[in-house]
Amino acid sequence: MSNNTDQDKRQPSLADSVRDLAEREDFEQILMEHDPRLAAVLKQRGMDRRSFLKMMGASLVLAGLQGCVTASAPGEAIIPYVRMPEEVIAGEALMFASSMVLSGFATGLLIETHEGRPHRIEGNPDHPASLGGSDLYTQGSILELYNPNRSTLTRGEGAVRSFREFRDALAAVLPGDGSGLRILTETISSPTLAAQWQAIQQRYPNARWHQYEPVNNDNEVAGMELAFGQAVRPVFTFENADVVVSLDANFLNGMPGSLAYARQFMDQRRIREGSDSMNRLYAVESTPTPTGSMADHRLALAASQVDSFTRALAGAFGISAGSGETTWDGAWFDALVADLEAHRGSSLIIAGPQQPPQVHALAAALNDALGNVGSTLTYIESPIVNPLVQAEDFASLVSDMQAGSVQVLLIIGGNPAFSAPADVAFVEALGSVPFSAHLSLYFDETSELCSWHIPQSHYIETWSDARAFNGAYSVVQPPIGPLYDRTRSPIQMFALLLDDFRSPHDIVRSTWEQAFAAVPNFEAFWNATVHDGVAPNTASPAASVSLSGAVASTVSSIAAAGSGTEIIFRPAPTLFDGRFAWNTWLQELPQPLTSISWDNAALMSPATAASLNVTEGNLVSLTVDGNSMEVPAFIIAGHPDDSVTVSLGYGRGLSAELDRRQNFNAYTIRPNGSPWIASGQVSRAGGRYDVTVIRSTSDGVNLDAMVRFGTLAEFVANPEFAKSKPKDVNLLPGFTYDENAWGMSIDLTACIGCNACILGCQTENNIPNVGKDAVENGREMYWLRVDAHQVSEGGQDQNYFQPVPCMHCENAPCEQVCPVQATVHDNQGLNQMVYNRCVGTRYCSANCPYTVRRFNYFDYIDPADIALEWRNPDVSVRVEGVMEKCTFCVQRINAARAISIQNNEAIPDGAIVPACAAACPTQAIVFGDVNKDGSQVAELKAQPHNYGMLEELNTFPRTTYLARLSNPNEALHDSEEGE
Amino acid sequence: MSSQSIPQQAPAPPLPRLGEITETVTNTIFGKAPLWWLIAFGISSALAGAFVLVLGAVALFGTGLWGINVPIVWGMGITNLVFWIGIGHAGTFISAFLLLMRQSWRNAFSRYAEAMTLFALATAGMFPLFHVGRPEWIFYFAPYPNTMILNPQWLSPLVWDAIAISTYGGISAIFWFLDLIPDIAAMRDKAKRPIPRAFYGFLALGWRSDSNHWERLHKTAYILAALATPLVISVHSVVGLDFAIGNLPGWHHSIFPPYFVAGAIFSGLAMTVIVGIVLRSGYEGLKDFITMDHIDKALKLMLITGLLVTYGYMAETFGGWYKADAFELPLIIERAIGPYAPFYLAMLFFNCILIQLLWFKPVRKNIALILVICVGILIGMWLERFVIVSVSLSYTYLAPTWEVFNFTFWDILTIFGPFGFFFAQFLVFIRFLPSLPISETQQHAVEVAHA
């Protein structure tokens, strides 16, 4: 408050500082910022500064007294650590199974807690939607829990209120039969909310429930309705799929169930010595995605052309659906048809969620015609409660609001004021609703416009449930109680309408008791389910579906192509629909493939950029139906021409540090009618905005030194094609390893470039974010980077992903040049950083051929930050001026060793999983003891296609790679070679 | 080697009487400070203040104030360290190397060139200290006794560097001071007021111009010169090893040590000539001592070292091309045509092309042109250090990690501030100590007269 140094010298008392504060001119404003509740009380009572002083004096005395008891004792019994709670051992992490819901579907999690404090999220191996892997959203969501910008106060009618006041206000306006009562939620699959809704409907028969999320499954819902006339959804089984065709579907990284799909897909591609079969992926793709990067054959096609392509493909298999303009390579198409023909029953066609309903319907018809149903995919009843086309439902809600027929609107989650399509006047309509309330994590755009705002509990603070992409019943278990006692969960909001005052836990449990009434011992079943995070054997059974004969006729009319340039909208790879905009982890994290950090950009092909006369960073103006936005251009090879992709979720203007410098909000031009693929005008606008990119491509310079790749046929012919021969000359004596020798193997064939490992590493190792400017200056602190080499070869744009952690060289260049022995070799081959000894000459970094070291140019840690709570207590936090780098998660190695010593046994293989390996959805990273015969990592390193990066420098890296293998179609591969 | 075998090359300058030499030199000190000195000192002090500001800010807020990043972890700190150590080189080269070679024409230069060495070293010494992330722990470089038996890591060239530079600094200081003793005694004798007399008297260590004193002084000077001469070679060689030992494509060259030494003498002589010209024009009386002939000799030496440096550039580039190193070729190409091209091409212009003018006698007599060439060399040599340190770091083995250095406000201050720091020290020196070696100049005058 007061920065006066003289005052500091005479040690001002607390009372002094209170008086100084009261005397300041901007006193009221300061008070409003720091304690809006107190400010509100003062204002209401008409107090002056004198009263404030009196009150603060009394409060200070009382605060002193309160210190004698407990600051804020919870209602329940608490146990001091002197007598430790069962299971909790100080210093040891506990994992709790839970689930996170996104777009309605649950992903299983394990939440790591230290002394009751959650600090990290990993995938739940027992959960069908995770299989142990995790993605950016699940891992990043924990930072939201600790976000200091979370809303903690109930607000209503311009003042801070209590929840009781809200309840009273709501009760006063609730119509008896519910007419005029609308509830707007995000996509819901929760059995508890579904049951609660049924009860609400009985009590308020005229109430209506709408679901709207900007990133939804509308196309799939509508497509299935077209194909089967039923609310079903496809679930894929890659085990039996030898030929996979993606119709603009980023099924490895951008669909419900992606984590499981990525794992299953890659399980068919892990080539080891002797094996010679591998699945084959054809990707017809608009915006380049990790899925297209993994494809054996990728066809860049404008998103609006995928429809025509699908029709042509359907035509080749006897489904007459008309045909559009043919803009693709005929040989490619013929080879695909022949390959599918040869793999009837073992092929799989996947339609992308951003593709229109008819593509989904035709994909269903194709799978049916190829005999894939039951073999590579099944249909299940949609786990979503009331699956509707949300865009239509939302539009009808808004028109009802405008018509004045909505009296009470409860918005539970979501942020429609920000994310509503440009041509749906939600914000204006909200003005004509007399009573509106918004439950949300932050006091956001929607909260500001609603008459009431209730802070939402973070999902890991409260009990809930949901269903996975395959229908499995999942529990959302909170490992921690609400951090802020005024927060409420969606279940509590629904319960409010039912005058149900049980805790969320009791509500969820009683729902399950009814849903699983047939289970003989519910108590045991419930405990097991909560323990595992998922109820066993609850994946939905295959629904019997029959293709409606009308598919062909209903989809036969091709919508007239728009005259303008195609504009593709995609959820932001890191911020999703904008809900993670406060999340610095996700803001800074390089976006998969492009490595853009902090920014939104219009992705376009080099040819499109040339025709628009723009270079990277030039602002382009995108116009759809008269709405326009400006966004910087970003050039990416592999994007179809005359097409531009822009991400949703940016430009919320939250704070100067986060995004106030950019206003690239794609919702402002997004049409409700065609929310993913629009036709509009793209032109060069004046001005520049430099897109922040964490450089990750080699542009082909010395690519062979980094990534080695070949085809399956080449591997079979010459398994050692990727080997390099180090010279093995050293003047210095080498090291010997009597016990363990830790090493890592990274399978480049399996790496999909999703960057989950980077975030996993960051959360485990307390890696700070440095901000946009510092990232621009090359000071990002990630210990692990994923290089995305974009290479054009033979007319094909290829992406090669390569995670690069510290190589832990046996003959480490960094160790030899450190003047103070701050980086040293240990007896297990770890190359260690001794932070205390480091003076920061940075010579080690200059001498590291892999450039994996990171330097603390500033103190990146603000000790006053509540977000400190997420930090891992097992990992030192580094100060300004020291070097840091990947440790192979030495804290996990030591934890495993402690256990092995207790049990008096060797550390079992697989007992140590570094954070990057734990996060990886495809298990591309394997860690273990290379000294131990038969360990997984030793076996991988013995593979013929194992190689070390820059081995010719004699560094003997402990991290090695398995060369990337692909399985191209002979027919196409030869023609490409010929080019 | 006897002194007779060395031909006395210096043509006889108009010979002043020996007393006049003392008179002229001491007058520069006992006279009122000239206006140009006050102005120069004011500007230098301001720049020095800026330098102190940079160092203080970096120590307080972190090295992040500079534009360095990963992989360009070394920026202005190391660039300036190498540059300023190089500036110091000419001093020892002139005073020790030429003394051993009995090149007595060196005398006019030797005193202030030695002083330059010291001040350049003092300036250079600031950089490693503040370049590191945690200067408060810099003593880990020293093999001090400790309970953990932790020593420096002897394999690291930085440790060799610390030893080489501190040895060099120590010997240079002693050498310089020894040489000063007879002249300080002369100052003591000339001083009229008690405080200067006490000041110089204290520093003169009781010198009485006794022939025993002279004999011992000469012996010691020769021994120290013999010690210091290899240091001229070794110090910058070791600095060159910092880079040559590293395995970065732009650093891993065996040619670095000799090429660094040549470059150091090259830039050091340029600075010496600039300072000599300033002294000449500042103190009219010194024109007779620092003659155009001296400057001519220095310029010829510069031309030789400049050609050596040029050879170094060619050898480095040729080597990279000849061994067809896949990692070095991108560096060679990128630095010539990439974002750093202006730096690299300017370096080639100043260090290789501009100096060709020195072949021509009229150029070597034209003060204005000499100044232009010498300032050009300083710029060129600074750029060379920057190209070696930061530009090489920009092109690491793995192309995905390449970055481009961005100069911040603090980087700019770090470039210019040290000049103020250096000149402020130097100006204090010429104000309070004899900037020409009185006795040696007298000796040289006698030798020339007898020849």
CATH number for the domain spanning A453: value is 3.40.50.740
Residues B358-363 have a mean pLDDT of: 92
Each residue of A390-441: pLDDT tens digit? 999 999 999 999 999 999 999 999 999 999 999 899 999 999 999 999 999 9
Q: What is the pLDDT of residue B90?
A: 78
Residue at B186 is within a domain: no
CB neighbourhood size of A432 (10 A): 13
Q: Which of residues 900-959 of A touch B (CB under 8 A)?
A: 949-950, 953
Claim to verify: residue A957 and residue A809 sit in the same structural domain? yes
Each residue of B307-317: pLDDT tens digit? 999 999 999 88
Q: Mutate which of B58, B78, B156, B334 to test chain A, going by most A C-beta atoms within 10 A?
A: B156
Is A855 in contact with B73 (Cβ distance < 8 A)? yes
Of the candidate ranges A584-593, A681-690, A866-875, B120-129, the one whose mean pLDDT is the lowest: A866-875
pLDDT-derived band at B362 (thresholds 50, 70, 90) equals: very high
Residue at B201 is within a domain: no
Claim to verify: residue A768 and residue A888 sit in the same structural domain? yes
Residues A745-756 have a mean pLDDT of: 94
Residues B43-69 have a mean pLDDT of: 93
Is B67 in contact with A847 (Cβ distance < 8 A)? no
Report the residue of chain A nearest B133, measured CA to CA.
A881
Portion of chain A with pLDDT greater than 70, in percent: 87
Residues A552-557 have a mean pLDDT of: 58
Q: What is the pLDDT of residue A979?
A: 36
A696 interaction partners in chain B (CB closer than 8 Å): 400
Claim to verify: residue A201 and residue A254 sit in the same structural domain? no
Judge whether B281 is closer than 8 Å to chain A, CB to CB.
no
Judged by phi (left if over 0) then psi (alpha if -120 to 50, else beta), residue A370 lies in: alpha
pLDDT at A899 over 60: yes
Claim to verify: residue A716 and residue A803 sit in the same structural domain? yes
Q: What is the pLDDT of residue A282?
A: 94
Residues A378-386 have a mean pLDDT of: 92
pLDDT-derived band at A2 (thresholds 50, 70, 90) equals: very low
Residue at A12 is within a domain: yes
d(CA B280, CA B287): 5
Tell me what ipTM this predicted complex has.
0.90
CB-CB: which of B141, B400, B403 is closest to A698?
A: B400
Query: B350 to chain A nearest CA, in Å?
Result: 28
pLDDT at A1 over 50: no
Report the residue of chain B nearest A884, measured CA to CA.
B70
Residue at A748 is within a domain: yes
Q: What is the pLDDT of residue A77?
A: 63
Q: Which of residues 390-429 of B touch A (CB under 8 A)?
A: 393, 396-403, 406
Q: What is the pLDDT of residue A795?
A: 67
Q: What is the pLDDT of residue A64?
A: 52
Judge whether A814 is closer than 8 Å to chain B, CB to CB.
no
| Token pair in block for residue A481 | 């109680």
Residue at B411 is within a domain: yes
Each residue of A226-255: pLDDT tens digit? 888 889 999 999 999 999 999 999 999 989
| Token pair in block for residue A359 | 């593509």
Each residue of A476-508: pLDDT tens digit? 999 888 988 889 999 999 999 999 889 999 999
Radius of gyration for chain B, computed over Cα atoms and rounded to the nearest angstrom: 23
Return the CATH number at A663: 2.40.40.20
Domain boundary, last residue among A381, A409, A426:
A381
Judge whether B143 is closer than 8 Å to chain A, CB to CB.
no
From the number of C-beta atoms within 10 Å of its C-beta (0-12, 13-18, 19+), residue A117 rates as middle
CA angle, residues A970, A971, A972, in degrees to nearest 5 = 95
Q: What is the pLDDT of residue A59?
A: 63
Indicate the average pLDDT of chain A.
Answer: 87
pLDDT at A978 over 50: no
Q: What is the pLDDT of residue B114?
A: 84
Judge whether B137 is closer than 8 Å to chain A, CB to CB.
yes
Cis omega before residue B71 (within 30°)?
A: yes
The residue segments making up the domain with residue B262 are: 10-164+227-450
Residue at B216 is within a domain: no
pLDDT-derived band at A862 (thresholds 50, 70, 90) equals: confident
CB-CB: which of A787, A821, A953 is closest to B150?
A: A821
pLDDT at A663 over 80: no
Query: A962 to chain B nearest CA, in Å?
Result: 18
A855 interaction partners in chain B (CB closer than 8 Å): 70, 73, 133
Query: B377 to chain A nearest CA, in Å?
Result: 28
| Token pair in block for residue B394 | 């920009």
CB-CB: which of B134, B138, B150 is closest to A882?
A: B134
Q: What is the pLDDT of residue A155?
A: 93
Residues B315-344 have a mean pLDDT of: 90
Report the residue of chain A nearest B245, measured CA to CA.
A817
The residue segments making up the domain with residue A210 are: 154-216+387-466+480-519
CB-CB: which of B68, B138, B150 is closest to A839?
A: B138
Q: Please report how many Cα atoms fall inside a 13 Å half-sphere around the Cα of residue A337, on the Cβ side.
A: 16
Residue at B3 is within a domain: no
Report the residue of chain B nearest A847, measured CA to CA.
B246
CB-CB: which of B68, B72, B153 is closest to A821?
A: B153
Judge whether A701 is closer than 8 Å to chain B, CB to CB.
yes
Q: What is the pLDDT of residue A74?
A: 54
pLDDT higher at B26 or B194: B194
Residue at A721 is within a domain: yes
Q: What is the pLDDT of residue B390?
A: 93
Q: What is the 8-class DSSP label of residue A353?
A: T
Residue at A76 is within a domain: no
DSSP string, B67-127: S--SS----HHHHHHHHHHHHHHHHHIIIIIHHHTT-GGGHHHHHHHHHHHHHHHHHHHHH
Residue at A527 is within a domain: no
pLDDT at A5 over 60: no
Claim to verify: residue A169 and residue A241 sit in the same structural domain? no
pLDDT at B47 over 70: yes
pLDDT higher at A150 or A275: A150
Q: What is the pLDDT of residue A82?
A: 65
Is A846 in contact with B74 (Cβ distance < 8 A)? yes
Q: What is the pLDDT of residue A18?
A: 64
pLDDT at B417 over 50: yes
Residue at A559 is within a domain: no
pLDDT at A779 over 50: yes
Claim to verify: residue A414 and residue A343 sit in the same structural domain? no
pLDDT-derived band at A71 (thresholds 50, 70, 90) equals: very low
> For B36-56, b where at least 16 C-beta lie within 10 A, e where not — what string?
ebeebbeebbebbebbeebbe
Each residue of A786-801: pLDDT tens digit? 999 888 776 678 889 9
Beta-carbon contacts of B21 under 8 Å, excluding residues fewer than 6 positions away, are: B289, B436, B438, B441, B442, B445
Is B396 in contact with A701 (Cβ distance < 8 A)? no
pLDDT-derived band at A70 (thresholds 50, 70, 90) equals: very low
Residue at A127 is within a domain: no
A821 interaction partners in chain B (CB closer than 8 Å): 150-153
Return the CATH number at A846: 3.30.70.20
Domain boundary, last residue among A19, A35, A56:
A56
Q: What is the pLDDT of residue A61?
A: 60
Judged by phi (left if over 0) then psi (alpha if -120 to 50, else beta), residue A462 lies in: beta
d(CA B401, CA B70): 8
Residues B381-393 have a mean pLDDT of: 94
Claim to verify: residue A798 and residue A750 sit in the same structural domain? yes
Task: For residue B64, give the 3-state DSSP assignment.
Answer: helix
Claim to verify: residue A202 and residue A244 sit in the same structural domain? no
- Residues linked to residue A832 through DSSP beta bridges, in sequence order: A824
Residue at A549 is within a domain: no
Claim to verify: residue A393 and residue A502 sit in the same structural domain? yes
**Residue A22: which of A38, A10, A9, A5 has the closest Cα?**
A38
Claim to verify: residue A363 and residue A230 sit in the same structural domain? yes
pLDDT higher at A749 or A34: A749
Residue at B207 is within a domain: no
Beta-carbon contacts of A274 under 8 Å, excluding residues fewer than 6 positions away, are: none
CB-CB: which of A813, A819, A859 is closest to B153?
A: A819
Q: What is the pLDDT of residue A16?
A: 61
Q: Which of residues 639-698 of A touch B (CB under 8 A)?
A: 695-698
Q: What is the pLDDT of residue A284?
A: 94
pLDDT at B38 over 70: yes
Of the candidate ranges A195-199, A540-544, A974-978, the one whose mean pLDDT is the lowest: A974-978
Judge whether A785 is closer than 8 Å to chain B, CB to CB.
yes
A701 interaction partners in chain B (CB closer than 8 Å): 330, 399
pLDDT-derived band at A977 (thresholds 50, 70, 90) equals: very low
Domain count, chain B: 1
pLDDT at A975 over 60: no
Is B247 in contact with A953 (Cβ distance < 8 A)? yes
Each residue of B169-199: pLDDT tens digit? 888 888 888 888 888 888 888 888 898 889 9
Claim to verify: residue A246 and residue A321 sit in the same structural domain? yes
Residue with tokens 């146990």: A79
d(CA B402, CA B339): 12
Residue at B218 is within a domain: no
Residue at B14 is within a domain: yes
A695 interaction partners in chain B (CB closer than 8 Å): 400-403
Residues A948-970 have a mean pLDDT of: 90
Residues A164-183 have a mean pLDDT of: 90
CB-CB: which of B62, B159, B247 is closest to A819?
A: B159
Judge whether A44 is closer than 8 Å to chain B, CB to CB.
no
pLDDT-derived band at A722 (thresholds 50, 70, 90) equals: confident
Return the CATH number at A363: 3.40.228.10
Q: What is the pLDDT of residue A44?
A: 64
Residues A176-189 have a mean pLDDT of: 91
- Residues linked to residue B339 through DSSP beta bridges, in sequence order: none
Claim to verify: residue A209 and residue A257 sit in the same structural domain? no
Is B70 in contact with A853 (Cβ distance < 8 A)? yes
Domain count, chain A: 5
Give the H or E element holding residue A946: strand A946-947
Indicate the angle between helix axes B256-282 and B211-245, nearest 10 degrees: 130
